[in-house]
A and B are shown apart, each in its own frame.
Chain A
């Protein structure tokens, strides 16, 4: 297990297109989190899962955003009808117990 993996690393898309990102957490971690980070800001919470259940969603997560974790393993984050304001780094993290988060390298989204 090489840690938290995110795919793709970079995504450039035209405004109005849909995009989907994938996150593979550390296999024994039951909690998975999505964050968004823009330039000059810290990571902002989007949503988190315990196993396959989505337990909390931020108000940042508009109706165009949806996240799933179908079997309690990998997760996907989909953004529909992308807007330029969606351009950001999307970070995934996982955790188990009191170990704190383990972050992935992130997916950098650019909407043109």
Chain B
């Protein structure tokens, strides 16, 4: 079974402070991991995927297989980063099959 755990429902940080949104996963094979974001009144959208090793809007995430974690980080939070963030996992290398989502963390950036 595949499972994604996001331990924080709400994370509040001041503008300019570093951000780390935690994500742990449970999967027996080699998963593909994603972060999705939902801004207020917008649809859920892909932020980044671990296989791409990219930085989007200043966010990065490193897959740590030993700790089964995929934490999302940004060195300096901006007000426009306030949103709901979902960590997600697919057991399929291409991410084609079902993706399992965590319960989400609401990031609130305080001006």
Contact = CB atoms under 8 A, between A and B. Distances in A.
B33 to A, nearest CB: 11
A67 to B, nearest CB: 13
B103 interface: yes
B70 interface: no
Interface residues of B, number: 23
A95 B95 CA distance: 9
A8 to B, nearest CB: 15
Nearest to B101: A42
Nearest to B6: A42
A95 B29 CA distance: 22
Contact of B94 (A91, A98, A103): A98
Contacts of A43: 44, 86, 101
Given A91-B44, A100-B49, A42 B103 contact: yes
A105 B99 contact: no
A84 B104 CA distance: 24
Nearest to A33: B98
A49 B98 CA distance: 10
B97 A104 contact: no
Interface residues of A, number: 26
Nearest to A4: B43
B43 A98 contact: no
A27 B103 CA distance: 30
Contact of A31 (B9, B34, B96): B96
B34 A100 contact: yes
Contacts of A58: 98
Interface in A5-40: 31, 33, 35, 40
B45 interface: yes
A101 B46 contact: yes
A26 B16 CA distance: 37
B100 interface: yes
Interface of B: 4, 9, 34, 36, 43-46, 49, 51, 86, 88, 94-104
